[in-house]
A and B are shown apart, each in its own frame.
Chain A
Amino acid sequence: EPEVTQTPSHQVTQMGQEVILRCVPISNHLYFYWYRQILGQKVEFLVSFYNNEISEKSEIFDDQFSVERPDGSNFTLKIRSTKLEDSAMYFCASRRSFTEAFFGQGTRLTVV
């Protein structure tokens, strides 16, 4: 069964460092998403991406965040200068136009 793959599963980084979280969506999917879940809180939408551009983003997704689909298969989330409050589980998801969204297993980001 096709699946969304995220790497790494766990990343520890120093405050102020840049991190790139990687996702490989399902190959024929067209819509891509990033979410985060701070420990003990609900899942929050960050950004959606379609046709090689951002289609929606939340208030959380400020100038410190960016997304890219550099090579037609990977979908990355970059955090330019990490803060302690960026520590969370980050989920990637993808879907075709009228299907369920498929989620990756998540990357646990710990900023120290």
Chain B
Amino acid sequence: ETGVTQTPRHLVMGMTNKKSLKCEQHLGHNAMYWYKQSAKKPLELMFVYSLEERVENNSVPSRFSPECPNSSHLFLHLHTLQPEDSALYLCASSQGAPSGVRVTQYFGPGTRLTVL
């Protein structure tokens, strides 16, 4: 499972900290995604980047700031988070427009974030 990698795998941070999550895809894809899974909730889409441009921001608070410097890398910058932001954050990538009917998304293993 090395197609999509995420670092770190676990992160504990205080509410005043600033940290970043990193995602890298080795599949040659041109779209990347951030998802959040809170306890007992389904995976929720946060952001979509297609050809390095953000095409979706799913009403995510500004304390989450994505960055896509190139088609292989995606970051999620975190600042002044709240304890309720503790969750599993998953990155995914795909080839082709996100709206493509048969587009399959390939996921990373996630970063388990705990906000104290």
The finding on whether chains A and B are genuine partners in a shared complex, rather than unrelated, reads no
Measuring CB to CB, which residues of chain A are less than 8 angstroms from any residue of chain B? Answer: none
Measuring CB to CB, which residues of chain B are less than 8 angstroms from any residue of chain A? Answer: none
